[in-house]
Amino acid sequence: MEFDDITGLVAVLAIFLGLPWVVFHYITKWKTAATLTTQDEDLLDDLHDLARRLDDRVVTIERIMDAENPAWRATSLSDAPETHRLTREPRIQETRR
């Protein structure tokens, strides 16, 4: 009978102490892992600056192209295949039924 009492005590302790401890332990691990580190934030700032500079360069090149040949967009887009066209307008996807 004493073995049954110990088994019941271990089961009760495992359910009411062990299981919540494991759950709360991993909840706190997930919360700390979900935040950005300072290195991640620095990398994102660097990438944002790089993207802004690249966008400025593209705008400058487009201004130069517009000054030299105002119709360059129409001619370059009409010659390009549909999958390789680059425009600033969002593409509207056609739905086929």
pLDDT in tens, 7-60: 888 888 888 998 999 999 999 988 887 778 899 999 999 999 999 999 999 999
Distance from C-alpha of 86 to C-alpha of 52, rounded to nearest angstrom: 18
Count Cβ atoms below 10 Å from residue 62 Cβ, excluding itself. 13
Q: Where is pLDDT greater, at 3 or 30?
A: 30
pLDDT at site 81: 59
Other C-beta atoms lying within 10 Å of the C-beta of residue 49: 10
Token representation of residue 95: 């739905």
Count of alpha carbons within 13 angstroms of residue 86, beta-carbon side:
4
